[in-house]
Structure 1
Amino acid sequence: MAPPAWTTRPNAKDDLRERARELRRQHRSVPEVAAELGIAKSTAYRWVRDIPLDVDARKALFAREHSSTTGHGQMMAEARWSEYRAERDARQAERVTGAAGSVGGLTQEELVRIGAMMYWCEGAKAKPWNSTRRITFVNSDAGLILVFLAFLRAVGVEQSTIDFRVQIHETADADAAVRWWAAKVGADRTIFRRTSLKRHNPKTVRYNTGADYHGCLIVSVRRSRAIYDMVEGLVIGVVRAAGRPSAPCDPWPQ
């Protein structure tokens, strides 16, 4: 039985399909084929997927899309990435803003636990070869420094027992860093201890340079062994509580 007559009639898509395959044989990429013929990339791929590019053709395609001579490939890539970055940054800002807004306030108990965990992550801890149990917290993030100072106030530390010291690379502006940190923590710069300068190593490539680099602030508390012991105990308690079946999150499936 002969096939229906309509199946043998010329079809405009047949011409497009043949043209797409011809372009592919000329080592054109799927996006290039789609753009030239005004068709969807998925359609172009379906029509030419059985015509792979050889190694030389792939190299030529890469060179074409990344050519700094014509700049066309670079502009096309930049346009695609600019749109993607804008969408990504918008989603990121939305997530950050939403998470920040979910924190309405902190009770003193919450602040103390947060401060203890922060210290155990970033602060100096006693070691078998150095059993000193003294509160010393070092960080370059002014926000975390302010949270830690709020923690110290919450546990009853007197301001007069707190020492500040800036640690910064010797090639940076140490005096400006002291002024910056003094303003951040609301302290007179004259009470800051002598700045600790880090030796410059020309072999190390550093990115923390420029006007936004202020080094780290070292916050030490004199006669703080009891505070240290309390911090260690709180951390043990939090770790123990997080491992209980009643912890506020489900365990990962085994």
Structure 2
Amino acid sequence: MTADTGDATARQARIAEARRLRAEDGLSKSQIAERLGVSTGLLSKWLQGVDPPAWTKRPNAKDDLRERARELRRQHRSVPEIATELGIVKSTAYQWVRDIPLDADARKALFAREHSSTTGHGQMMAETRWSEYRAERDARQVERVNNAAESVSCMTRDELIRIGAMMYWCEGTKAKPWNSTRRITFVNSDAGLISVFLAFLRAIGVEQANIDFRVQIHETADAEAAVQWWAASVGVEPETFRRTSLKRHNPKTVRHNTGADYHGCLIVSVRRSRAIYDMVEGLVIGVVRAAGLPSAPCDPDRSDGSVIVGR
């Protein structure tokens, strides 16, 4: 064995001893450096990757403050309220409590606190004035909605087809440069819009046997009940539905679509529908042109009621 080899072996032995004293005996760096006769700088290199013993860690002065902030958040306090009470900046308060969202009731209570009058009498007077305004506003809203609904007494086949095409272009799945699939897939949570879209499909001659249904719903909801509800809504047997698509739960997300009225979305797909997709795209282009381009004048008397879809 050469002198160099012996020195290297001795050095490795000292490194191993230093790491053992740190990990097993729990000595501080200064204690190990004194025992082995090395500098703390060199010792730091030897101890890379070895966690320091718990007794050498200094307590963080902000640990108690952070825990107090989280406690206040659990009491439904806002970030500004927490920052003010603890004497910290709002950004720090937010970082400490951002994983503790407020539920719907807590947000309502917070809104009430932040917008309440300074006195009970002032609050009562404000509520009286606003209740009268809200009643009048709501009555006007109902009247406008009813008048608009009654103005649509009937609809021609051409109108239904154009409406269906525009609905699909707004809410349906469309081909992209990175995904050129041209297939009719319509997703919506509104049973009324689903009803209109199915009427559109019937108007262009799509047979019921070529339409597939699938429910898309949050995994914490009652998926089976949703399938039953949607099946009754569209008038088919629940057994004909494809396997339900479940949305995974994100604990940090504050969900509002919960309760008995939540039925998820219905996915309506049409088999062998490339030609229908092409027709829909063409109708959308035509509607856009007719809406304002001078190069395509509209003849209001033209209504032959026919749309031909090749398969």
Global fold match (TM > 0.5): yes
Amino acid at match of 1:88: R
SS at match of 1:167: strand
Q: Distance in 2 between the 1:192 and 1:72 partners? A: 57
The corresponding residue for 1:66 is 117
Q: How does 1:1-254 map to 2 (within 5 A)?
A: 66-67=117-118, 71-245=120-294
Of the two, which has the highest radius of gyration?
Answer: 2
Cα deviation 1:172-231 (Å, max 9, x = unaligned) = 000110011001000100000000000011101111111111000000000000000000
Q: Distance in 1 between the 2:170 and 2:298 partners? A: 21
The corresponding residue for 2:36 is none
Q: Distance in 2 between the 1:167 and 1:192 partners? A: 11
The corresponding residue for 1:42 is none
Give the number of equivalent residue pairs.
Answer: 183
- The alignment's C-alpha RMSD in Å is 1.6
Amino acid at match of 2:278: D
Higher RCO, 1 or 2 (CA under 8 Å, sep at least 6)?
1
SS at match of 2:267: strand
Stretches (4+) displaced over 3 A: 245-248
Q: Distance in 2 between the 1:185 and 1:73 partners? A: 51
Gaps of 5+ in 1: 1-62, 249-254
Amino acid at match of 2:177: P
Inter-CA distance 203–247: structure 2 relative to 1 (3 Å threshold): farther
Q: Distance in 1 between the 2:298 and 2:271 partners? A: 36
Gaps of 5+ in 2: 1-113, 300-311
Amino acid at match of 2:210: T
